[in-house]
Amino acid sequence: MLSNIGIGLIVLVLILSFLTIYAAYLDLRTSSQYIKKRIYQLSLLQTTFTVLSFFTLIIGYINSDFSLINVYENSHTAKPFFYKIAGAWGNHEGSLLLWVNILVIFSYLFLVFNHKHNKRFRLYTLIFQNFLILGFLFFLLLNSNPFNSIYPIPLEGLGLNPILQDPALAIHPPLLYVGFVGCSIYFSAAMASLISGYGGKLFAQSIKTWVKISWCFQTLGIIVGSIWAYYELGWGGFWFWDPVENASLLPWFAITALMHSLIVLEKRNTLYSWVIILCLLTFILSVTGTFLVRSGILNSVHTFASDPSRGIYILVFLSLMIFSALIIFFTKNKKETFNFNLESRETFILANNWFMAFFLVTVLIGTLYPIFLDVLSGVKISVGPPFYNIVIIPLVIPLMFLMSIGPQFSWIKSQNKFFYKTLFLMLGAIAINLFILYFFGKYSLLSNLIFTTAIFLILHSCFDVKKLFINKNKAELPRIISHLGFGLLIFFIGINHQFSLEEDFNLKVGEIKKTNNYEINFKNTETKESKNYTAVIGNFKLTNLKNNLVQYLDPEIRIYSNPETLTYEAAIKTKITSDLYLTMSNISRSDYYNIKFQNKPFMVWIWISAIMIALGGFIQLTLKKNEA
């Protein structure tokens, strides 16, 4: 029943997509200045049906309707209600439906909210967006249909991978999807802009909001994924330079560059071609990332989503997208001349772009090179944290320096009036760094430079906040918050990296282990039955030998029944100054448990500063036009 409704709705959306393209094409030939009402109606209808199809799938999950293969494979009656809903996008087919939803919703919203802009530009955007929608609809119907039915109907489902049954991971995909699929709309808009000749400043205004929305969601999505990895994977780390994480970073670098160049395009009416390239690149990288993750060409934590037959489809789609983008760009793009003064804000914004481009290329090479080498020569290599740390970290130093002083310059040309302030803040930053170095321990020259520039950026941002209160000019607020967030992020990651404590050992119940000012007493274990798993909980008493502070931590080993899996839940005691992190895992055929104990300073501040970066973007969205 649900299967038929779902497929019916998808087919309707497909037909509406064709109709929209046709109607838009006809409307392009009329001389009227306004888009026909019928096109709005078609687009609205399309949005309604798409959203309904997604609700149909969610209803299938809520009611545990195992006549749908998708529900049968990814859900179970014993699953908590919240995860039943989240199950709808916790798998390939369901997430693809979510993907289509975002394409369609963004298509409609872009059409409606840009009513002041040129008609031809909007119609072309609608046409290109609908081509994208069609591509994904065919993929959904032919290869990855979430509404495929199964007969005879199974009595029970196979369940969702327990490691995914987590609040952070339930919201991680939707956030990332709004971020990544949201890029589609300015991919279409960029193509439309090239064809209709509607470029420059006005084009920048038309896509500005959409770029910000997708940037915010991408940033937030990446952070949530990272938080999840921290407390769920049980390694105590939060970024692993895993190929799939990299796949999510690639569009992020492109979109961050785009967001900055877009300001130049809007203010100075220059860099148009570069903005177009970034618009196209961001979505192309999103789809490339999807291809890498879903096709199984990479091996990583996200392999639950892989299947080579999907790979072929996405690859064909990707090829069509790239080649049509290239052809249209090369045919329509006009030469531009630039006239930038070295001491102007636009120069520094361009500098941001150089850094983003560098990071993008580094991560792209690190991610793709092993694949290329393996495919072409059969040699297997793995590119991991050492490569990224060596190549990327030193470059963060000049980036942070420029992030501090760049915004001090004004547009076109500025008199350098802030030299003494910069010098003063730099000396302050050096002093604070030396203070940390003197009182808390030695670290390398590179770390010294990182701390100093991070503190410099933080100080600079704080002074900017002060200036903001004097000038009462809210427009700078989002930038300051995001830049301040970035400075804090690097600072706390540095501190965390420098002063973390990690111990690995084996312990039996009743044993006590003394290590680095901590006494760890493994008191006992108990078992607890929960709705869909049984947990073995270890009770640990932790005594800080320095101040005799006692804390109790209880890491768990969870035994899920559907599907049968073991997961290890870390016990984390978060304080303002540090996190205590304890995991235990059983050792087969032994009374011993493997214990991993970590003391990670300022962990919570890493999250707070990362969220600040995203927050800046959200604040920008709420600012009214005259304020921004």
Partner 1 sequence: MKLSISKIIIFCFVAFSLFVFWKGLKKDNNYDTTELIGSKISNFQLIGINNDDRYISQEDLKKNKFTLINFFASWCAPCRAEHKYLLNLSDKKIKIIGINFKDKKNNAMNFLKELGDPYDFVGKDSNGKISILFGVYGIPESILLNSDLIVIKKIVGPIDQIQYDEILKLAQ
Q: Quick check: 125 and 192 in contact, CB under 8 A?
A: yes
566 touches partner 1 by CB under 8 A? no
Which one among 327, 361, 475, 509 touches partner 1, defined by CB under 8 A?
Answer: 327
Q: Give Cα 533 to chain centroid, integer Å.
A: 30
Torsion of CA 562, 566, 567, 571, to 10 degrees: 120
Site string for partner 1, 484-513 (x = CB under 8 A): --------------------xxx-------
361 touches partner 1 by CB under 8 A? no
CB of 139 to partner 1, least distance (A): 15
536 touches partner 1 by CB under 8 A? no
516 touches partner 1 by CB under 8 A? no
336 touches partner 1 by CB under 8 A? no
Binding residues for partner 1, rule CB under 8 A, total: 35
Which one among 415, 547, 588, 622 touches partner 1, defined by CB under 8 A?
Answer: 588
Which one among 319, 527, 534, 577 touches partner 1, defined by CB under 8 A?
Answer: 319
Between CA 400 and CA 415 the distance in angstroms is 22
Buried b (16+ CB within 10 A) or exposed e, 534-566: ebbbbbbebbeeeeeeeeebbbbbbebebeeee
Which one among 326, 434, 509, 623 touches partner 1, defined by CB under 8 A?
Answer: 326
379 touches partner 1 by CB under 8 A? no
299 touches partner 1 by CB under 8 A? yes
Which residue's CB is nearer to partner 1, number 240 or number 592?
Answer: 592
CB of 159 to partner 1, least distance (A): 25
Beta-carbon contacts of 195 under 8 Å, excluding residues fewer than 6 positions away, are 124, 328, 332
Nearest partner of 17 among 146, 108, 131, 121, judged by Cα:
131
Which residue's CB is nearer to partner 1, number 361 or number 623?
Answer: 361
150 Ramachandran zone, left/alpha/beta (phi>0; psi -120 to 50): beta
Nearest partner of 78 among 169, 162, 173, judged by Cα:
162
CB of 234 to partner 1, least distance (A): 13
Nearest partner of 33 among 91, 129, 116, 100, judged by Cα:
116
Which residues in 5-146 belong to E strands, given as ranges?
A: none
Between CA 451 and CA 403 the distance in angstroms is 15
337 touches partner 1 by CB under 8 A? no
Between CA 59 and CA 72 the distance in angstroms is 13
369 touches partner 1 by CB under 8 A? no
291 touches partner 1 by CB under 8 A? yes
Q: 540 - beta bridge partners? A: 522, 553
Compute CA distances 22 → 49, 126, 197, whole Å.
Answer: 19, 11, 21
- H or E element: which one contains 541? strand 533-544
CB of 269 to partner 1, least distance (A): 26
**Ranges within 212-231 binding partner 1 (CB under 8 A):** none
Identify the three-state secondary structure at position 65.
Answer: coil
Between CA 36 and CA 31 the distance in angstroms is 11
398 touches partner 1 by CB under 8 A? no
Which one among 154, 237, 311, 384 touches partner 1, defined by CB under 8 A?
Answer: 311
Which residue's CB is nearer to partner 1, number 68 or number 281?
Answer: 281
154 touches partner 1 by CB under 8 A? no
594 touches partner 1 by CB under 8 A? yes
197 touches partner 1 by CB under 8 A? no
324 touches partner 1 by CB under 8 A? no
> Which residues make up the interface to partner 1 (CB under 8 A)?
291, 295-297, 299, 308, 311-312, 315, 318-319, 322-323, 326-327, 330-331, 368, 371-372, 374-376, 380, 504-506, 585-590, 592, 594
